[in-house]
Amino acid sequence: MNEYLFTSESVSEGHPDKICDQISDAIVDAFLAQDPASRTGIETLCTSNHVVIAGEARGPAGIDAVAIERIARECIRTIGYDIDNFHWQKVGVDVRVHTQSPDIALGVDAGSRKSEGAGDQGLMFGYACDETSEYMPAPIHYAHRILESLAVQRKAGELPGLRPDSKSQVTLRYENGKPVSAKSIVVSTHHEESVTTADLRDMIIPSVEQVLPAGWIRNDTEFLINPTGRFVIGGPESDTGLTGRKIIVDTYGGAAFHGGGAFSGKDPTKVDRSAAYVARYLAKNVVAAGLARKCTIQLAYAIGVPEPVSLYLDMAGTAEIDSAELTRVLTQLVDLTPRGIIRHLGLDRPIYGKTASYGHFGRRAGKDGTFSWERLDLVEQLRETFA
């Protein structure tokens, strides 16, 4: 199809599922900050006036139920929940985290091997394209940026009456495979009783216009702001949240495949997380090197086995180089065992809290090691190899 519409959605840091992701990843960071070899599989549930944190962990004894409860309350406070039925100081917090199964540890720990085994079986995908300067599909990229902009303004007191829970949905027109304009923008946001729909339009539409590229909003662009007309009861008071329930929001907005495994709450020996990160890293460097306009990479692992059982690469007909040769080169550049991935990307650090809202991909690599999988440090080697 030369002309088509494509839609992606995002949810804010105050969405119930994202509250849970942030709590789970804050706990991961707490363990890794004290011991980079910690193992975590943390799941969080939140509902009206209550949070449940469960899972398994192996790490510093000081991160006990009291510490975990304190981490959860700080996450909720930072997001901005100080409302009736979900207040960071008053919400009940139930911690049910136990020690990791020794049977899992037996298969995952390196022992005499050169690398830890994969923390689980499964398949993971990475993707990149040239639609944006971040090498992300445009609909999910701008859906994230709209909500992130609103959150920054809300926390700065510039949008009085807005509350933390919100969702966005961006539908773009494509011509010849490139996004050219916005067909529709949907934003639903939690708000105080005194705020009207007209007030919300006055606050939100200017923010959207600043985020989208110039010329993308046309006379026929449709804005749907709180289309039900009212969103006073929101957050966990209105909808139960769970860790790992927004995996398409976390990745590519439906523009690429997903292996099915969630990221948040998991330490980097869990290939659901680390292999998805390295697959994105490789795909992004391939596109940034000019070797293809689109690139999909799939990795698959068996629990307890260090090496991937398969690597698949697809450039969607946008490259003239040999995919088998590119696959061989990529496996020479990066060791795709769990230990190799962790070392190459520096994943055994407390870097995960920032990933738990507004997407794990398309973000700027930080000097503190955050979003290391967004680095473009393979580009020159790839260009030289395929010159």
* Residue 167 annotated in ligand binding: yes
Q: Does 87 belong to an annotated binding site? A: no
Please tell me the distance from the alpha carbon of residue 215 to that of residue 220, in angstroms, as a whole number.
12
Question: Cα–Cα distance between 387 and 323 in angstroms, integer?
Answer: 15
**Is 190 annotated to bind ligand?**
no
CB 26 within 8 A of CB 75: yes
Burial class from Cβ neighbours inside 10 Å (0-12, 13-18, 19+) for residue 314 reads: middle
Residue 103, marked binder? no
What is the DSSP annotation of 28-86? Answer: HHHHHHH-TT-EEEEEEEEETTEEEEEEEEES-TTS-HHHHHHHHHHHHHHHT-EETTE
Distances (CA, A) of 305 to 36, 54, 123: 21, 27, 13
Q: Do the bridges between strand 178-191 and strand 222-225 make them parallel or antiparallel, or are there none, so unpaired?
A: parallel
What type of residue is 279?
A: A
Who's near 269: CB < 8 A, 6+ residues apart? 39, 108, 116, 118, 119, 338, 342
**Is 230 among the annotated ligand-binding positions?**
yes
| Dist CA 338 CA 373 (whole Å) | 14
Q: Tell whether residue 33 is among the known ligand binding residues.
A: no
116 is in an annotated binding site: no
239 is in an annotated binding site: yes
CA distance 264 to 260: 13
Q: Do the beta carbons of residue 343 and residue 253 sit within 8 Å? A: no
Ligand-binding site membership of 90 (annotated): no
Consult the annotation and say whether 245 binds a ligand. Answer: yes
Residue 158 annotated as binding site: no
Contacts of 347 (CB under 8 A, 6+ apart): 268, 274, 277, 341, 372
262 is in an annotated binding site: yes
332 known member of a binding site: no
Q: Which residues, 6+ apart, have CB-to-CB distance to 324 below 8 Å?
A: none
* E strand or H helix that includes residue 170: strand 162-175
Q: Is 98 annotated as a binding residue?
A: no
Joined tokens for residue 334: 């990066």
Identify whether the C-beta of residue 204 lies closer than 8 Å to the C-beta of residue 225. Answer: yes
Which residues are part of a known binding site for L-methionine? 56, 100, 239, 270
Which residues are part of a known binding site for Mg(2+)? 17
Which residues are part of a known binding site for ATP? 15, 165-167, 230-231, 239, 245-246, 262, 266
Which residues are part of a known binding site for K(+)? 43
Which residues are part of a known binding site? 15, 17, 43, 56, 100, 165-167, 230-231, 239, 245-246, 262, 266, 270
